[in-house]
Structure 1
Amino acid sequence: MLKLSAPYRPGFAGSPGDLRDKAVLVRFHGSDVTTGTPQLSRWRRWAAIGVWLCLIGAGGALAYLGGERAGIRSLQQGTLHRLDIYSTSLRSELSRYEYLPQVLSLSPDVLDLLRRPDDSSLQFNANVYLETVNAHAQASAIYVMNASGLTLAASNWNQQGSFVDMNFSYRPYFQDALRGVPGRFYGIGTVSREPGYYFSFGIVDGARQLGVAAVKVNLDKLDATWSHSADKVLAVDGNGVVFLSSDAGWKFRALRPLSSETLQQLAQTRQYTEAGSLTPIDMREHRPLSGGAATVVQLSASEARRQTAGEPFGPDYLLDSRPVDGTDWKLIMLSDMKPVHALARTSAVATVFALVFLTLLVLYFQQRRRIVHQRLAAREALQGAYDELEHKVQLRTEALSEANLHLQTEIAERKRAEEILKTTLEDLVQTGKMAVLGQMSAGITHELNQPLTALRTLSANAVVFLARGESAQVDMNLRTICQLTDRMGQITAQLKKFARRSAVELQSVALADVIADALFLLDQRIRQERIQLEQAVEPHLHALCEGNRLEQVLVNLLANAFDATAGETGVRRVRIVARRTPDGAIVEVHDNGNGIAAEVMPRLFEPFFTTKEQGLGLGLGLAISAGIVRDFGGLLRAGESELGGAAFIVTLRNGQRGATTHG
C-alpha cells in the first residue's frame, strides 16, 4: 500500500529542479524508500542464509552423483567394447587348434600304433608323424595315449621332458575323451611345468575304444600381449582362479577363498599343482551398480602398493566381466575410477559456482528491482500521468521483447533439432558399417572350414604316400595344397571386399568347373557320410560371375543340404542341377531332408539367424551367400524340393567366354 504525505495534483507542473526541491516522502508499509533495506530480524536473515547454503550443498552433491553416474556409463561403454576384443582374440586363438585331435584320430600311423602298441617301428612312424604335424600347427605338444592313459607317441618324443611313457589318466580331458566327449581343459603340465590349454578326442575302432589324441596349446602369447596393454584384464576359470592376466602378480591367484572341496578337486586333477597355494587377491566389492552389469571394487592397501607404489589406500576400480563362449571362463577388466571421480568433482564444483553466481545474480536483480521500484514510486507520487504513460510504454516494450525472445528460442530449438537429426543419421550410418564388418569377420571361420579340412586330409595322405615312396602322388597332393592355400587367400580377400561393398569384377565362368571344385572340397564328407550325390549339369554352360565366390556359395549350400539330411534313416540324397534359361543360368541344390518351415522362410537370409543347434552354426552362411549372388546381379532363393526336402536356387546372368565387366 502506497501513502503520500501530500495530495496528488494532476495539474502540477514544474522543472526537474523544482521536483527535487519538493519535500515529498513516499513510504511503504514495513520499508523506507530512502534506504530500501527490509526490516527483518537478524535471526531470520541468518536462517535464510543457512537454508540457501544447504540448498547449494545439496545441489553440489546431486551434481557429483550425476557426474559420477555419467562417468561410469562412459567408462563402462569403453570397457565392454575392449572386453569384446579380448574375448574374440582368446576364442580365435583356441579355435585354431580344436579340430586337430579329431584329425589325428583319422591318421593311419596313429591307428596302427594303437592296434599294435608293442611294435617299435610303428611307434617311430607315429612319433615322426606327430612331430611333423606339430611343426606346422605350432602347438606346444601333440600326443596319443592308449585307453589306460599311457602316452605311446608324442611330438616331443626326442626332446627333454618327452611325454612318451607318461600316464595322464588322471586328467579330466582324458576322461572326457574316453567317454566320447571332446575334452577341454586348462592346467599346468606335470611334466613340462608349463601352463596350457588341452584339446582331446577319443579314437575308436568300430565299437572298440583304442585311445585318446590330445593337443596342448600355450597361451603365453596372449599373456605377452595383455602385459603391454594399459588395461587390467584377467581371465578366470569356473572356480574363480586367475590363469591369464595383464599383471603377472595376479596369475594363478583366486578371486575369492577356495572351498576345501574345490581344493581337493584341483589336487586330484593336478590342474595348478605347480602354481603355489592359489592365494586370493585382496579385493573387496565396494559398491554394486544398478542393473548388476558391473560393480566397483577396491583393492586393499597392500595390494594397491604392489600395483602402484606410493598409494597408501586401495583405489577404486570398475569391474566388468564377459563369459568366453564354449568354456566356463570369464574375462574380467578393472578400469580405474580416478577419471570418474575427477569428472564428478568437476561437475560438483561447477554446479556450486553456478548456484553461487545465480544467487548473486538474483540478489543483484532484487536490489536493482528495489531501486527501480523506489524511483517509479517517487515519480508516480509527483507525476502520476507521466509515470502511467511510461508504464504503458514499458509494458508494450516488455511484450515485444518477450515475443522476440520467444521467437529466438524457437529458432534455436529448430537449429538444435536439425543438429541432433544430423548426428543421429551419421551414427546410424556408422553403426550399419560396423554391423556388416562384424558379420564378415565372424564368417571367416565358417567360410574357411572346408578348405582347412581338405588341407588336413591332403597333408596326411602326402605323408603316407611319401612313406610308400609314391612321389607322383605326393607331388600331386602338394600342388593341390598350394592351390587350396591360394584359394583360401582369395576367399579372405573376397570377404573383405564384400564387407567394403567394393567393385566386383565379373567374367564368364564355366559352371561345370566351379561345381567340380566345390564337390572336391566336400568329397571327404560325401564319402564318409555315404551321401548319394546326383548331378545334372548341362555341358558348356557359362555364367557371368566370379568363380571363387560362386564356389563359396555352392559349398555353403551343399554343406547345408548335407546337414539337413543328417537325421534321415534311409538313403541321404542330394542333387545339384545346372541348366540354361532364356536370361542366363540356374544352379539348384536339392535334398531329401525335412524341408524349411513356413515361419522360418521369411527370416532365412537374415544374418545370425539359424535353425541349427547351438555351436553348430553362426547363421551367417546364407546371408553371405545371398550377398555374393547379389553382387553378381543374380538372386538366391529357397523353396520346396521334388526330393521332399528343401531346394536353393541360384539365378545368374548369361556369360560368354572372354567377356568381362565390372559391377
Structure 2
Amino acid sequence: MRKNIFQRTWFKLALIGTVLSALVLWQTAYWSRLITLDQIGERSQHTLSLIVQALQGDLSKYRYLPQMLGENERFKGLLRGTPTETEIENASVELSRLSTISGALDTYLMDSTGKTVAASTRTFIGKNFSYRPYFKAAMDGRLGRYFALGTTSGERGYYFAYPVRDNKKILGVFVVKIQVGRHEKSWQDQDGEVIVVDKAGVIFLSSEPKWQFQTLSPLSKEVKTKFRESKQYQNKPLNPLSISSAEAEFSGGNIITITTEKDRGQRLKEQFLIEEEYMADAELRILLLASTKDVGARVRASVATAAIFLISLIFAATAMNERRKRLADRIALQEESNTQLERRVLERTNDLTNVNIELKNEVSERKRAEEEVRRTQVTLVQTAKLAALGQMSAGLSHELNQPLAAIRSYADNAREFLDRKRHDTAKQNLKGISELTERMARIIRNLRTYAREEVIEIRSTSLKSAMDESLLLMDQRIRGEGIAIINTISVDDIAVMGGDVRLQQVFVNLISNALDALEDAPVKEIHISAGFEDEDVIIKIRDTGAGIAEDQIINVFDPFYSSKEVGQGMGLGLSITHALIDQFGGSIAVHNDPRGGANFTLRLKQANFAKKALG
C-alpha cells in the first residue's frame, strides 16, 4: 500500500516536472529569439543611420552647383540669343572641366523649351528633355530633383535642376547629374542588404544587383503610364519582388520573407529584419534588410543550455531522492536493531557497535558533502558576478563626436569656398572630410573587433597588433588628459600565446589603471616595452604616478579591491587581468619603480616565432 502511494506520488512529480521543463524550454526559446532580434534591430538602426548620413552628404554636395552655374553671365549669354558653334563648344568644354572637378556625371544647359544648348557630354547637345519632371520643376522656379536612367547614356543618376534667371525672367535650366551607384559597393560590406526606393516603391539602388529595378509591390497602371511618359526607367520591366510579411512582434521593426529564383528553377526563401528611414528632401526610402539566419542557431544554443541545466537538475533531484530513500532504510534498520537489542543485548553487542560506527560515518560524510555544496555555490555565484561585471561595451558616441563636428565644419567651409570659387581650398576641406571618415571607420572597426565574443581558445596572437588596437581604443582619453605614451614595441612578428580580444582586454585594463594613477601626477607618461627571457616574452607597463602603497601591493589583484573613492571603480579590472593571464599560462606581477610610479610585468608564453632583437 505504502509502495503504491509512493509510486503515484513519484508519477505526479515526474509529470509536473515534465510540464515545467517544457514550459521553461519554450520560454527560453521565445525570449532568446526576441532578445536576438532586438539586438539585430539596434545594430541595424545604427548602421542605417550612417548609410543615410553618407547618402545625404553626397547629395548635398551637388545641390547648389546648378544654381551657382546659372549665375554665370557667360552661360546666360547662350540663352539670350542664338549662340555660335564656337560659343557652344567653348561652353561645353568649360562644363566638361567643371564636371571633372566636381565629380558630376553630366552637366548641361537647356533653354526654355527643354532643348540642350551646351553639355559636358556632347551627345546631349540638341536633344530635348522637356518631358523630364526636373525640367518642369525648374521652369516653375523651384529646385528640381529626380532619379532616372539617362535616355542617352543609359546610366543611373540623380538630377538637380535650377532655373537660369535674367532678372525675373527664366531663360532656361541648368542640370547636374550625379552618379549615386558607387554607394552600392560599400553597402555590400554591411551585415545585410541595403536598398533605396522611390515613392512608388521602385528599387533603383541595391547592394544585391538582382533586385535593381524591381518593386516592393505591384505597380498600378497609372504609375506605369507615368513612368513611360517621363522615361524615368526606360524599358525596365519593374517586376515586384516576392515579399511576404513574417511577423512584427518586437521593438526593432518587421520581419519579411523574400523568395528569389536560383539556378535550375530552384527557389530560395530568406528572412530579413527590415529597418527604414525616409529622406524627405529627396523623397527616398532607405531600407536595411538584416539577415535573421543566425537567430535560429542562437535560439538552439540557448535551448540546449537550458536543457542541460534541467537535465542536471533532474539528475541531482533523483540522486537526492535515492539518498533520502537509503537514509530512510538505514533509519528503519536502526529502529529494528534497537527493538531486537532489548531482547538480545548480549548476543548483538558487536553488531550494534558496528552499526553505530557506520551511522556516525554516514552523518559525518553528509555534513562534509553539505559544506562542499555550500562552498561550491558561493564560488559559482562569485564567478558569475565577476563574469557579468567584467564584460566591456563598445560605445561609439564619445569617440565619434569630435570627427563628426570637424566634418560638419569642413563641409560648411567647403560650401563657402565653392561659393567664392576657391576650389583648391574647398578640395583641401573635402580631403579633410575623407581622412576623418577613414579615422571613424578605423575606430568603429576596432571597437567591433574588441566587443565581439571570442571562443575560449589559447592561440598565437600578435603582441604589437593587440597593443596598438588597445591604445587606439583609449586614444580619446589619452589625448584628452595629455598623457605621453612611450611605446618601444616596434617589431610586428612578436607572437605570444593568448587570444586577440582577451589580450586587448588585459592591455586596456592595465593602461586604464595607469591613466587613473596619472590623474594628479606632475609628469604624465606611460612607458611600454617588451623583451625575451628564455622561452617567454616579458611586457612591462610603467606609469609615472605616485605608485602603490607597500601594504596594498599584495591585495591589488583581489576581486573588488580598490584604492579609489566609492563610486569610481569596482576593483575588478586587475582581478580580471590576473585571471586572463592565468588562462594564457602566464603570470603578472607589480612593484613600485625606483624612478616613481607602478610597474606591471607580464610574462607570456612565446609562440613558435624566431626571436628577433627589438628595435
TM-score, normalized by the shorter chain, greater than 0.5: yes
CA distance in 1, matches of 2:128, 2:147: 17
Aligned pair partner of 1:297 in 256, 274, 298: 256
Aligned pair partner of 2:281 in 309, 321, 326: 326
- Displacement of 1:323 in angstroms is 2.7
- Structure 1 residues 239 and 156, CA, compared in 2 at 3 Å: closer, same or farther? same
- Structure 1 residues 487 and 153, CA, compared in 2 at 3 Å: closer, same or farther? closer
Counterpart residue number, 2:55: 90
Matched, 1:185 2:185: no
- Displacement of 1:260 in angstroms is 2.6
- Structure 1 residues 436 and 193, CA, compared in 2 at 3 Å: closer, same or farther? same
- Structure 1 residues 112 and 495, CA, compared in 2 at 3 Å: closer, same or farther? same
CA distance in 2, matches of 1:496, 1:240: 33
Counterpart residue number, 1:449: 415
Counterpart residue number, 1:213: 174
1:210-260 superposed Cα distances (whole Å, 9 cap, x missing partner): 111001112232234445766322111111110011222211010111123
- Structure 1 residues 66 and 381, CA, compared in 2 at 3 Å: closer, same or farther? same
**SS of residue in 1 equivalent to 2:182:** helix
CA distance in 1, matches of 2:155, 2:58: 18
Return the letter of the residue paired with 2:130: S
CA distance in 1, matches of 2:83, 2:44: 56
- Displacement of 1:51 in angstroms is 4.3
Is the 8 Å Cα contact of residues 321 and 332 (structure 1) preserved in structure 2? yes
Return the letter of the residue paired with 1:353: I
Matched, 1:338 2:293: yes
Is the 8 Å Cα contact of residues 403 and 436 (structure 2) preserved in structure 1? no
What does 1:161-200 correspond to in 2, within 5 Å? 162-200=123-161
- Displacement of 1:209 in angstroms is 1.0
**SS of residue in 1 equivalent to 2:82:** coil
Aligned pair partner of 1:204 in 165, 187, 190: 165
- Displacement of 1:420 in angstroms is 5.4
- Structure 1 residues 442 and 494, CA, compared in 2 at 3 Å: closer, same or farther? closer
- Displacement of 1:72 in angstroms is 1.3
1:76-95 superposed Cα distances (whole Å, 9 cap, x missing partner): 23333332333233223323
- Structure 1 residues 138 and 362, CA, compared in 2 at 3 Å: closer, same or farther? same
Return the letter of the residue paired with 1:280: P
Aligned pair partner of 1:76 in 27, 41, 44: 41
The number of aligned residues is 433
- Displacement of 1:142 in angstroms is 0.5
Return the letter of the residue paired with 2:110: M
Aligned pair partner of 2:246 in 265, 286, 297: 286
CA distance in 1, matches of 2:308, 2:427: 67
- Displacement of 1:140 in angstroms is 1.8
CA distance in 2, matches of 1:125, 1:408: 88
Return the letter of the residue paired with 2:410: I
What does 1:558-597 correspond to in 2, within 5 Å? none
CA distance in 2, matches of 1:400, 1:179: 92
Aligned pair partner of 1:253 in 214, 237, 254: 214
Is the 8 Å Cα contact of residues 245 and 255 (structure 2) preserved in structure 1? yes
Most deviating of 232-241 and 122-131? 122-131
Matched, 1:146 2:111: yes
CA distance in 2, matches of 1:181, 1:115: 21
- Displacement of 1:494 in angstroms is 9.5
Aligned pair partner of 2:223 in 237, 244, 262: 262
- Displacement of 1:189 in angstroms is 1.7
- Structure 1 residues 347 and 316, CA, compared in 2 at 3 Å: closer, same or farther? same
What does 1:473-622 correspond to in 2, within 5 Å? 481=424
- Structure 1 residues 313 and 50, CA, compared in 2 at 3 Å: closer, same or farther? farther
Is the 8 Å Cα contact of residues 444 and 495 (structure 1) preserved in structure 2? no
- Displacement of 1:202 in angstroms is 1.2
1:148-206 superposed Cα distances (whole Å, 9 cap, x missing partner): 2221111112xxxx111222222111122222221111011222222211011111111
- CA RMSD in angstroms, aligned pairs only: 4.0
Counterpart residue number, 1:130: 95
Provide structure 2 residue ranges, at least 5 long, that are not aligned to the other structure. Answer: 340-352, 444-474, 481-615
Most deviating of 279-288 and 412-421? 412-421
What does 1:4-15 correspond to in 2, within 5 Å? none
Is the 8 Å Cα contact of residues 403 and 437 (structure 2) preserved in structure 1? no
- Displacement of 1:489 in angstroms is 5.5
1:24-56 superposed Cα distances (whole Å, 9 cap, x missing partner): xxxxxx53xxxxx554567x7656544433333
Percent identical residues:
22
Is the 8 Å Cα contact of residues 193 and 274 (structure 1) preserved in structure 2? no
Counterpart residue number, 1:508: none
Return the letter of the residue paired with 1:95: S
CA distance in 2, matches of 1:166, 1:73: 53
Q: TM-score, normalised by structure 1?
A: 0.56
- Structure 1 residues 494 and 324, CA, compared in 2 at 3 Å: closer, same or farther? closer
What does 1:305-454 correspond to in 2, within 5 Å? 305-306=261-262, 314-324=269-279, 326-379=281-334, 423=391, 431-454=397-420
- Displacement of 1:119 in angstroms is 4.2
1:252-301 superposed Cα distances (whole Å, 9 cap, x missing partner): 0101111233223323322112322x11001111112323x42221233x
- Displacement of 1:413 in angstroms is 6.1
**SS of residue in 2 equivalent to 1:117:** coil
CA distance in 1, matches of 2:336, 2:132: 104
- Displacement of 1:367 in angstroms is 1.7
Q: TM-score, normalised by structure 2?
A: 0.61
1:503-560 superposed Cα distances (whole Å, 9 cap, x missing partner): 79xxxxxxxxxxxxxxxxxxxxxxxxxxxxxxxxxxxxxxxxxxxxxxxxxxxxxxxx
Is the 8 Å Cα contact of residues 56 and 356 (structure 1) preserved in structure 2? no
Which of 1 and 2 has greater Rg? 1
- Displacement of 1:112 in angstroms is 0.8
CA distance in 1, matches of 2:214, 2:186: 20
**SS of residue in 1 equivalent to 2:54:** helix
CA distance in 2, matches of 1:358, 1:442: 59
Is the 8 Å Cα contact of residues 407 and 433 (structure 2) preserved in structure 1? no
Most deviating of 431-440 and 326-335? 431-440
Aligned pair partner of 1:231 in 180, 184, 192: 192
- Structure 1 residues 458 and 452, CA, compared in 2 at 3 Å: closer, same or farther? closer
Counterpart residue number, 1:107: 72
- Structure 1 residues 421 and 185, CA, compared in 2 at 3 Å: closer, same or farther? same
CA distance in 1, matches of 2:283, 2:433: 33
Return the letter of the residue paired with 1:135: T
- Structure 1 residues 112 and 65, CA, compared in 2 at 3 Å: closer, same or farther? same
CA distance in 1, matches of 2:265, 2:6: 55
Return the letter of the residue paired with 1:195: R
**SS of residue in 2 equivalent to 1:368:** helix
- Structure 1 residues 169 and 76, CA, compared in 2 at 3 Å: closer, same or farther? same
CA distance in 2, matches of 1:422, 1:403: 29
- Displacement of 1:103 in angstroms is 1.5
Is the 8 Å Cα contact of residues 70 and 162 (structure 2) preserved in structure 1? yes
- Displacement of 1:115 in angstroms is 1.3
What does 1:27-106 correspond to in 2, within 5 Å? 31=2, 37-40=3-6, 49-106=14-71
Is the 8 Å Cα contact of residues 110 and 126 (structure 1) preserved in structure 2? yes
Is the 8 Å Cα contact of residues 79 and 172 (structure 2) preserved in structure 1? yes
CA distance in 2, matches of 1:490, 1:297: 40
